[in-house]
A and B are shown apart, each in its own frame.
Chain A
């Protein structure tokens, strides 16, 4: 039951984008078309899931025994940055079609706060391995879900008549506000 609970909360009511504000930059930046939104979402899912497994083991079997937990930010950033690089090389070599689809979105992930945020939340929430896995998958799935919904809305907004000062980012943020209202549990 606990796992189902974690899954639903991370996917909907405590969505990383709309309630924790993680990954807002790609959320606003790459959501102009549905295709780029899906590519970004898939890259994030891949990187989040795999890097949280790596960082989980590093934290519990390297940092905790040596009493250097304060180094977690530096270590996690390094892991994510090098892992993204490695993934890009591997995909380019062996899975050409995936690499073509994710393309430029993969390197951008290094500075995506959603990845570092979820990885750090795994640690601060004191999750066990299975819980951590469920949380990472559902959080990044939530990211993909929301960014896809948002991009389909923005495609419609592009064609509508918006007052000049609101064109572009402001109307996107206000749309996001209405979405956040739907997702929040305060209503």
Chain B
């Protein structure tokens, strides 16, 4: 439990370690895409961490990186094929950001810093924690950007064929203030993440002062 919470707060991959920013910024225009991307990363991270932890003893130190990248890209390709077959709309929306999970620094970073040094249990827990931390941040950013920038909240749309539900809400009544289109543009992504990290630092700084 401690490892998992550690991944969500103290070592949050996006807010503290600043890893995996490409996908964080790119897919958060829509709430549904954000959490589905998070789930994809959790899946890849879990499998790659377990595999790396299993084979850590037989991999020579100097070819570590290529071997791990190969393992990660295999899992990403499997995921890609599954998504293309079962959830085509999501596959189209995520586009090149799906294969880019391979070079998402979070996955490789965890393989190198945790999975290659610890047993299966710890690496599994670490993967879940870091993955949840990543998903969490993605959901917060997407919620903010979609509600204010597009005046909608998409909970289930591209997976609706699979689940049979379609949940897209309109948040505010028509008015002059919303939607603020700037939040949907790339600039809005940078802005939201910048303010989120500042807020996170602010809360953390406040706690530090109290404990003193």
Q: Tell me the smallest distance from the CB of B6 to a CB of chain A, in Å.
A: 20
Q: Tell me the smallest distance from the CB of A47 to a CB of chain B, in Å.
A: 13
Residue interface mask A1-35, B partner, CB < 8 A = 1: 00000000000000000111111110011000000
Q: How far, in whole Å, are A173 and B193 apart by their CA atoms in the complex?
A: 7
A19-B186, A165-B201 known; A177 and B194 CB under 8 Å? yes
Contact yes or no, A18 B69, CB < 8 A? no
- Residues on A with beta carbons closer than 8 Å to the beta carbon of B66: 78, 81-82
- Residues on B with beta carbons closer than 8 Å to the beta carbon of A78: 66, 69-70, 73
Residue interface mask A162-187, B partner, CB < 8 A = 1: 00111101111110111011001010
Contact among B70, B100, B190 for A116, CB-based, below 8 A: B100
Q: Which of A24, A29, A178 has the most CB of B within 10 A?
A: A24
Q: Tell me the smallest distance from the CB of A104 to a CB of chain B, in Å.
A: 14
Question: Which of B16-24, B31-39, B154-162, B169-177 touches A?
Answer: B16-24
Q: How far, in whole Å, are A178 and B190 apart by their CA atoms in the complex?
A: 9
Q: Tell me the smallest distance from the CB of B47 to a CB of chain A, in Å.
A: 15
Contact yes or no, A25 B185, CB < 8 A? no
- Residues on A with beta carbons closer than 8 Å to the beta carbon of B65: 81, 110
- Residues on A with beta carbons closer than 8 Å to the beta carbon of B199: 165
- Residues on A with beta carbons closer than 8 Å to the beta carbon of B19: 25
- Residues on B with beta carbons closer than 8 Å to the beta carbon of A169: 18, 194, 197
- Residues on B with beta carbons closer than 8 Å to the beta carbon of A164: 201, 205
Contact among A110, A117, A172, A173 for B100, CB-based, below 8 A: A117
Interface flag for B114 (CB, 8 Å): no
17 further interface pairs, Cβ-Cβ under 8 Å (given A73-B80, A120-B100, A172-B194): A21-B186, A24-B21, A25-B21, A70-B77, A73-B77, A73-B102, A77-B102, A110-B103, A120-B96, A169-B18, A173-B190, A173-B194, A176-B190, A177-B188, A177-B191, A180-B185, A184-B186
